[in-house]
A and B are shown apart, each in its own frame.
With several copies, the nearest count.
Chain A
Amino acid sequence: MKVIVDSDTKVIVQGITGHQGMFHTGEMLKFGTKVVAGVSPGKGGQKVHDLPVFDTVSEAMHLMPEATMISVPAPLVKDAAYEALDSGIKVVYILTEHVPFHDAMDILYNARRKGAVVLGPNGPGITRPGMCKIGIMPNTIFRKGNVAVASRSGTLTYEIVNAITQSGMGESTVIGLGGDPVPGMDFIEVLELFNADPDTEKIVLVGEIGGSNEERAAEYIKKYVKKKVVAYIAGRSAPPGKRMGHAGAIIERGVGTAESKIKAFGDAGVDVAEYPVDIPKLLR
């Protein structure tokens, strides 16, 4: 089943001539992703990894891309996303960090109007082993399997995916939501997809302190999800009111604490791992 992307998904990279854009385009190509073109204003006519580079997204549309990876400086992200949406791109992955959340809100709500999905900002993207990777997850940690992972964190995702793969299991889909206050998708939206995907048998949620994404996911799981779900929550040790890198990881007003999330998951029958590496044990 198609979960946001599949092996036919064609991808462009906005900001392909930048350091990050160029590197990760190469990695995606190695993974097998059908990257078809790059876009870099003023750089039209160049080639990157043998791919054509265009000045505008609309010039790339004859190659029928469905998805874009946006890797441009934060102040330019909103325009790049609007450009992709205007051209009819349906999956907008934003690699860039430090995107103002008001911009992220504008992008998200306008994407919804146009029936498009936003991944990120400030997340590692989506990986479907054997099919398609859009984003920056390391290629080597995956094995095709039946565990789906959704995560609010980047490196922690790799840690957990690696542990799953090392344990002999494998992944159907791994989605990084992004660590910002206004991510393009939340756990519930991802759970809907995983729940409907016949290739997914077990689900891992990697949450962190701040917000009530996990608490609401727990409610949803209780009602709708029959598949096995396990979780990890980062930030148990974070002192209240301190920022821990992600704007997402602020504990305020007693909401969104690790305790509240762990309790909500517990009530929904979701085992919560003490350590990231314990996830495979819980999945068995």
Chain B
Amino acid sequence: MNLYEYSGKEIFRKFQIPVPDGYVITSAAELKPYTSPVVVKSQVLIGGRGKSGGIKFAKDQASLDQAVKDLMGSKVRGFTVNKLLIEQMLDIKKEFYLSITLNRSERKPMLICSASGGVEIETVPEEQIFRKSIDPITGYSDFIGREAAKFMKFDENLSKQLRSILSKLYDVFVHYDCELVEINPLVMNGDGRLIAADAKVIIDSDSTYRHPEFPKDDPERTPLELEAQSKGYAFVELDGIIGVIANGAGLTMATLDALLLHKGKPRNFLDLGGTDSTDIVVEAFDLVLKAKPRAILVNIFGGVTKCDTVASGIVEAKKKFGISQHIVVRLSGVRENEGREILKQNGIDAFSEMMPAVEKVVSLAGGA
């Protein structure tokens, strides 16, 4: 779960990581009178806001009003701006990069720092990036910050500030079950202080129950994806024409892959998961039908999810929604024969192997 910049900065403030003074508005009416130069930042969950015109500077009341007027309700890289962060303007002397994320290869948190901040870290040359795995049991310890500061050629004053920030940033990473905490840029201000000019916090979506204070707001998802998500499905919209329902993420991915290799274009990814209920199947059809596919492929390897349950669900969905599209079904595994029998009684043939089913649905759906 991605947090908005202002939420991330609220967390930082709570953990005493220096951030600029500022406040959030959801309408021009909430704007406070101009007192000193400010930055007006669109709150959208996408990078590159600056380049896309989503950030404006104001040095008087008129330009502040204008900036708010321009930005509120505008679109930044396709995302509508509903909130603005009005922040004291920094006197930026230098920009750095800091983040802590999960290093999946080592299965450990990793600290990443660079003296070249303010740009996407992917574009920074490797030799300018400091990487350090953090032992998840001992956690952050001061020596890690000393190594980072040394790499960044910080003097003792900057090093001390950096180490204090890193220690708290690691606390944030652990406390909020983060996938990523990122400060880019970390700014050295005119007064020599290090300040987090931006805040990116991504909370592990499996941990959100421990952090109910944040709204589950994910604008990177389509409305249909959000609907599916709220119903507990792993569902992704794609731009093809063949609806896909399968069980297990791996098998579902393999199904999409097989379709693609046969020049079939999947309309979606939908993993039924390991539940065993006809309702789940019916609801899955509802979601897939809303995506208006030309044909539907159901690919089940029965285990926890039993084949006869899925078969019953298909029959029920067909009746309920009066599905006109071709449905190609593959059933294998637990209760395969029972499932195939149920479908047969309702005029649906089911394959027992995956590949023939894939070939069939591609031929039925036709070209894109």
Contact = CB atoms under 8 A, between A and B. Distances in A.
Tell whether any CB of A sits under 8 Å from a CB of B in the complex.
Answer: yes
B43 interface: no
Size category of the A interface is: 35 or more
Contacts of B217: none
B204 A110 contact: no
B177 A56 contact: no
Interface in A264-280: 274-277
Contacts of B355: 275, 277
A46 interface: no
Nearest to A215: B105
Interface of A: 20, 41-42, 44, 55-58, 74-76, 78-80, 82-83, 85-86, 97-102, 105-106, 108-110, 113, 124, 136-138, 140-141, 151-159, 162, 179, 181-183, 186, 206, 208-213, 216, 232, 234-239, 242-249, 253-254, 256, 274-277
A239 to B, nearest CB: 7
B39 interface: no
Contacts of A275: 254, 257-258, 261, 354-355
Contacts of A277: 353-355
B257 A237 contact: yes
B333 to A, nearest CB: 5
Contacts of B303: 124, 136-138, 154-155, 158
B129 interface: no
A79 B135 CA distance: 13
Given A100-B177, A155-B251, A275-B355, A210 B135 contact: no
Contacts of B122: 253-254
B248 A156 contact: yes
Contacts of A98: 206
Nearest to A274: B261
A162 B104 contact: no
A213 B105 CA distance: 6
Given A105-B107, A141-B333, A79 B143 contact: yes
21 contacts: A75-B210, A79-B141, A79-B142, A98-B206, A100-B204, A105-B107, A108-B107, A109-B136, A136-B303, A137-B303, A138-B333, A153-B249, A153-B254, A155-B247, A155-B250, A235-B257, A242-B269, A245-B253, A245-B269, A253-B122, A275-B258
Given A208-B253, A235-B257, A100 B207 contact: yes
Contacts of A211: 104-105
A44 B207 CA distance: 30
A202 B162 CA distance: 51
